[in-house]
Structure 1
Amino acid sequence: MTSCEKDDSFSENKLSNEFNSESYMKKGTGDDKYTVLGTQKKIPCSVENMAEAYQSILKNPTAVKHPDKNYPINKTHLYVKFKPQDSIQYNKIVNDTILAVSDEPFEYEIANQGSIYLDPKANDTIFTFYYSVVPKDYQIPSEVPHEILKDLHFTSEDAIGETPSEKEENILDFYEDLNTEALKISDNLEEDEKKEHTYFQNDPSERLSYDDVKRLGLKVKDVQINYELEPNDEDVEGEARLFRRRKWRPRGTITVQEDAINQNVGVMGARVRVRKWGWLVIRKAHTNRNGYFETSRTRTKRVKYALYFKNRRSGNIRRFTVKASSWFWNARDRGHRTHKRRAWRRHYTYGRRQFYGYVQNAAFDYYTRIAPQYGLSMPRDRINISAKYTQCASSEHRANVLTLLPVSRIKITRRSKINGNCVYRGSDGIYATTVHELTHAGHQRMDPGMFSIFHIGSCNRAILTESWAEGVETIITNDRYLSLEPNYLDSSNDNIGWNFTRQRDRVFEMDEYTPIVADLIDDYNQSIEYAFLKPDPPVDGVQGYTLNQIQNALDDCRDIDCWENNLRNYYFNSTENNLNELFDYVRDVRNNNLSTPCNTIF
């Protein structure tokens, strides 16, 4: 029976009427690297403030009183500040789903929002401080230096069942008035909510508006709210309190503008946290492939949302995390507006979060669609992807890093250096690059020995690993963007399809990033299409292999001959007699610019 959920029925196409929209537009919110804190505010959920609010409620003749005539304001949660000293301690707290740490303290307004916050007082550690709200009985990791900043009290409206009794309905009304009072006296009510109430100084019949309060030179925290609900245009008499008792689902949509095809797409598989008043995490969800998310139901009226560019498979098993330039910060977008039973909308049109959205989409697509659909080796779980927004350099997969410092295994840069110039990759270039590096990660998981430090400097190794990753990148990127836009053009050079120019190159122009994988799959023979180029491009008389077959043939190979022979031996293909002729150009490329033939270098 679902009739009780009628007031909560919802579909994605209704979002336009329910959003409190916060978009990252060029004339909107800033997009600096570092967050700058503003005014420190009184903590509304502290035991002291909640106790003061309770006494104020008792004195207010219009407020609902607890049916038991007494409500103890005791400690329910702790506000904790962590000071990790090394990567082990850091990992301990950031991977704890109960702690759900934030690098920003919760009691501050934000003067300028950036991607990361570095506390200026964190000078005794390479890490910044991290903050968490946890249940009072939670076993805080004792090995991580920390301090308890405040004892907190949160009302437990969600502990009341789906069909509350008359007494429980009264308790819910009491919770609502108490929470509103706590926000009021700590000056944490949002402006729009201040305008919704009427006020009085001594006599409830005064009925002062918010404008009246300001005209009298008063502050809202210094006057009384009239808690006697009156019907308005949306509520018929008797339904106002029913409305605020009901449960609702925090939800929303996160989208990003794909500049390569001028389309808006969802940010896929990103983690959303919903915090009561911006403090206590009460709900979590992941966005779907359209960027939509929806959590389980809650009675909490006021929430703040935050998006984390990361994905969990189930429970504590993490597929990947996008890092904000450095290993020490997770890429995220923390909303600072309070949403009262309203959905959240984010749309990224430029800047860091747009870039993080591109990397997020490519990584999520690889783990959930590309690898399963094409039968590719899955990269290992818990992989960190460092998204470099300003750096002008090559992206890379770091197979073997000899350092005591923590590093991200994959680095994705927004800009690359071409002919001495820094060039923006475009959304398709960022997608392709992320796919390329994750293909390396999957290759390493399938065949760790291929990426051994003993193979560093081997041109056999380089041409096998890079040609394979280049091929997957080419096939997958074209599949994605041509499905989104049939007239898709490579944003880097306006050619039809991604990496199309690779198959126009002649052998002497090539390096380890050969088009051999695409040559094994497609029915395109560049030596015929580009016969006017002298010397001719490679002769490609092979077609019909799949990415899975090519990968299986590559497994455990250390030279080109092995790859070719495995294709011939493992699979029947009507064009396999042309394999030797096709792979000859790869053997020639292997020796390009080498004084010693590559087949003597192992």
Structure 2
Amino acid sequence: MIFFSCQKVEMEPIADEETPFESAGMAKTLLGKKLENPYSVTNMRKALESFRSSDPKGREAADFEIEATHYYVRLFTESDEQLLRLEKDSLYLFDYPLDYEIDSLGDYYMDPEVDPEEGKWYYTSVPVDYRFPDIQYEILEELFLLDEEDTTAANGKLASLDFLYELEEESLRLTGNLKEPEYDKGTSGEASRAKIHPQGYVRVWDTERRKLVGVEGVKVRTRRWFKYGRDYTNSLGYYRIDNRYKRDVHYTVFFENASGFKIWSSTVDISKASHHVGKHSRYDRNIDMYTDSRAWRFATVNNAAVKYRNYCGRFGIGLPPSDLRIVASDGSGGGAAPMLRRVWGFYGFTSKSKVVSFLGKVAGMPATILGNTLLRFILPDIIVKANSAQGTAAVYETAFHELAHASHYAKVGNNYWIRYINYIVTYGVYGDGTGNNAGLCALGEAWGYHMGYRLTLEEFGNTNSRVSLSAFENFDPLKTGDKNDDIRPFKPLFSYWNGWIPAGIMYDIIDTNRDWLRSGFYDDVAGYTHKDLFNALDKDVDTPQKFRDRLLKESGNLDRADLENLFEAYYWK
């Protein structure tokens, strides 16, 4: 059903009370007074009449006519599918009204009319010929927006750009919105009136390298009233907005990467993670995020995901799904790869209680914040606890670990992954190695832990604050049967680690060192690569023994005796 209204909706303030968003550490957007819209057809016509009465523009004003070119609208999304439908139209969507002063631009706006569990309003402007999808919407106001490429009036008369600029200025003046000086400080004449493409760098503080590094592939969006612009940062974090402005603009960084993955701040907010920079000059604007900013975790997880995709190409590992949804939550250590967007609703995984149980056990998330919003809008594939107190290397290690699971998922599919999730729900994270599908868990976690540590060493070298190569190589295999001995990585890993999950076996397969493992057993395996490891992670390979056999089959029995001896050393004969 489509709901249509030409009535302007007045926003009333809501009472201050704790919300799930605030419980998740999110800040609320606070609006100030309602502004008179200078771009409404009504006010633009008043500006035109002002010109005609004082006759500053002569014949040009007399001949010009104003009709609506756009509508100021809001659209109500009740599901993830509806939001994606709007995004496919390349609309600039805002979760707060655009004709209010902004006292504080936070992470979410609480609409006084809507229960956030039911859906969300998004505000934007659309051309008058826009074909609305089959969702609820309201037209709030008719707009007249300048088109610098087509200055034809409604009556077919051509107008000069100078005339349209002056008309815009007059409407801003009449509505009380011409608050900024006409000329920029330190400039004069035409240079001060020039329209500029905002540009700069988006950077994040790397605690390992002790310097700012570029944030790659994120979207920078600008807005001044109903004029929008955007660009994606390059590998250095540089952006140049695709629209020009004559005055200050609002800057926002959205963590929806150009490669396809998107980052959320929590499991309760349906909007993608963002960093609201505020209103600043249209000239060069660098956007830097240090450890005291909540955006640090979004930028750091973003860069880790970009790096992981690059390492996949380098090591011959399959990429995870390109449209991953990653929650970068404000927590310390740990994560999960439930791949909910893929597996939710499939046979064997249709219970909300299972989702709550899984995320509670693996990601430590309380059931109180895992409401309907999680299942209707977010459906995260990956969750990374990423607060800045951990440092860059620790966040990268967790992200690499979970992204390695996502690559594994992309190869084995939903049925395999549901078995993985159900094992964790049934046995409490990893169990003791004796339950049904314990071998599947052992293999999956061995791959995840290996990739997490191995890529962290690759990225930061052996002097990083998370893991040393000597400790990474020093794994003590244990027998199954004790849930307390599933895997003990001792993070940060600087001495040794152990467990019945054979997490050290992956590196033993690909390294060239002869290591002592336990009494009577050495690692003499050589000749395998990361590509060989990943190629053997097939959907019918659900135990370490099957993984060993697939490696041998695909390699022509390369170093067979040593490989079989290695798996026996890890108690997976």
- TM-score class, shorter: 0.7 to 0.9
- Among 543, 551, 559, the alignment partner of 1:567 is 551
Shift of 1:506: 1.7
Q: Pick from 287, 310, 328 the counterpart of residue 256 of structure 2.
A: 310
Distance change (3 Å), C-alpha of 1:190 and 1:563: farther
What TM-score do the two structures reach when normalised by structure 2? 0.74
1:290 is matched with which residue: 212, 236, 245?
A: 236
Query: What amino acid is the match of 2:148?
Result: E
Tell me the residue number matched to 2:123: 131
Deviation at 1:435, TM superposition (A): 2.0
Q: In the alignment, does 2:453 pair up with 1:474?
A: yes
Q: For residues 96 and 570 of structure 1, what CA distance do their matches in structure 2 show?
A: 42
Amino acid at match of 1:40: K
2:292 is equivalent to residue 346 of structure 1: no
1:153-197: per-residue Cα shift (whole Å, max 9, x none)?
A: 111124479xxxxx98x8222222222233333333354x26x39
Q: Which residue of 2 aligns with 1:156?
A: 147
Aligned to 2:217: 269
Please name the residue that 2:357 is paired with: none
Name the count of aligned residue pairs.
Answer: 477
User: 2:109 corresponds to which residue?
Assistant: 117
Deviation at 1:309? 0.3
Match of 1:396 in 2: 336
What's the offset of the Cα at 1:451?
A: 2.3
Identify if the C-alpha distance between structure 1 residues 475 and 139 changes in structure 2 by more than 3 Å, giving closer, same or farther.
same
Deviates most, 254-263 or 572-581? 572-581
> Which one of 454, 461, 464 corresponds to residue 440 of structure 2?
461
CA distance in structure 2 between the aligned counterparts of 1:289 and 1:513, rounded to whole angstroms:
36
| CA displacement, residues 495-551 of structure 1 (integer Å, 9 cap, x when unaligned) | 536xx63432322331436122222223344439xxxxxx66973323442211110
The whole-number CA distance in structure 1 between the counterparts of 2:191 and 2:212 is 38
Partner of 1:280: 227
Could you say if the C-alpha distance between residues 187 and 335 of structure 1 is closer, same or farther in structure 2, counting changes exceeding 3 Å?
Answer: farther
Judge conservation of contact 2:409–2:417 (CA < 8 Å) in 1: no
3-state DSSP class of the match of 2:209? coil
Deviation string, structure 1 residues 81-129 (Cα, Å, up to 9, x no partner): 1222344333333x23432211122122322232222223213852232
Q: Structure 1 residues 525 and 33 mapped into 2: Cα distance closer, same or farther (>3 Å)? A: farther
Label 1:79 to 1:555 Cα distance change in 2 as closer, same or farther (>3 A): same
Task: Give 1:23's aligned residue.
Answer: none
1:468 corresponds to which letter in structure 2? W
- Where 1:109 maps in the other structure, the secondary structure is strand
Change (3 A) 1:566 1:450: farther
**Structure 1 pair 134–520 and aligned structure 2 pair: CA distance change class (3 A):** same
Deviation (angstroms), 1:32: 4.8
Name the CA distance, whole Å, in 1 between partners of 2:546 and 2:327: 34
Q: Is the 8 A contact 1:560 1:587 kept in 2?
A: no
1:444 to 383, 388, 409: 409
Is 1:542 matched with 2:510?
no
Which residue of structure 2 lines up, in the alignment, with residue 531 of structure 1?
Answer: none
**After the TM superposition, which residues 236-275 of structure 1 pair with which residues of structure 2 at under 5 Å, given as runs?**
240-241=189-190, 244=193, 248-275=196-223
Residue 171 of structure 2 is aligned to residue 177 of structure 1: no
Q: Give the C-alpha shift of residue 454 in structure 1.
A: 4.2
**1:91 lines up with 2:84 in the alignment:** yes
Which of 384, 393, 403 is matched with 1:428 structurally? 393
Q: Distance in 2 between matches of 1:553 and 1:382?
A: 24
Determine the structure 2 residue equivalent to 1:39: 33
Q: Which amino acid aligns with 2:105?
A: Q
Change (3 A) 1:403 1:241: farther
Residues in 1 aligned to 2:477 and 2:234: alpha-carbon distance in whole angstroms: 44
CA distance in 2, matches of 1:96, 1:586: 50
Residue type of the alignment partner of 1:361: N
Q: Which residue of 2 aligns with 1:489?
A: 464
Give the match's secondary structure for 1:132: strand
Give secondary structure in 2 for the equivalent of 1:330.
Answer: coil
Conservation of the 8 A alpha-carbon contact between 1:278 and 1:304: no
Contact 2:199 2:285 in 1 (8 A): yes
CA distance, structure 2, for counterparts of residue 266 and residue 538 of structure 1? 46
For residues 345 and 395 of structure 1, do their structure 2 counterparts lie closer, same or farther at Cα, with a shift above 3 Å needed? same
State the one-letter code of the partner of 1:386.
V
Match of 2:100 in 1: 108
Give 1:58 shift. Answer: 4.2
1:408 equivalenced with 2:400 (yes/no): no
**1:148 CA drift (Å):** 0.9
Q: Which stretches in structure 2 are left out of the alignment for 5+ residues?
A: 1-24, 345-349, 353-374, 424-436, 479-497
Closer/same/farther in 2, CA of residues 99 and 515 from structure 1, 3 Å limit: same
The one-letter code matched in structure 2 to 1:409 is: D
Are 2:202 and 2:237, in contact at CA under 8 Å, matched by a contact in 1? yes
Q: Is contact 1:472–1:547 with CA below 8 Å preserved after alignment?
A: no
The answer to whether structure 1 residue 551 and structure 2 residue 534 are counterparts is yes
Q: TM-score, normalised by structure 1?
A: 0.71
State percent identity of aligned pairs.
24
Question: Structure 1 residues 525 and 158, CA, compared in 2 at 3 Å: closer, same or farther?
Answer: farther
1:393 CA drift (Å): 7.1
TM-fit CA distance, 1:268: 0.9
Question: 3-state DSSP class of the match of 1:527?
Answer: strand
CA distance in 1, matches of 2:246, 2:68: 19
> What amino acid is the match of 1:480?
E
The 1:68/1:186 distance shift into structure 2, 3 A limit, reads closer
2:308 equivalent among 355, 361, 366: 366
Instruction: Give the conservation status (yes or no) of the 8 Å contact 1:157–1:299.
Output: no
Aligned amino acid, residue 82 of structure 1 = L
Q: By how many angstroms is 1:323 displaced?
A: 1.2
What does residue 473 of structure 2 align with? 503
Q: Does 1:581 align with 2:570?
A: no
**C-alpha contact 1:32 1:113 (8 A) present in aligned 2:** no
- Residues 48 and 536 of structure 1, relative CA distance in 2, 3 Å threshold: farther
Letter in structure 1 aligned against 2:37: I
Q: Which amino acid aligns with 1:540?
A: D
Deviations 1:426-469 (Å, cap 9, x if unpaired)? Answer: 22222222222222122112111672434543111011111112
C-alpha deviation, 1:377, in angstroms: 1.6
**Counterparts in 2 of 1:297 and 1:255: CA distance versus 1, 3 Å:** same
Q: Which residue is equivalent to 1:82?
A: 75
Q: CA–CA distance in 2 between the matches of 1:258 and 1:248? A: 31
Letter in 2 for 1:358: T
> What is the aligned partner in structure 1 of residue 13 from structure 2?
none
Q: Please tell me the residue identity of whatever aligns with 2:438.
A: C
Task: List 4+ stretches of structure 1 deviating above 6 A.
Answer: none
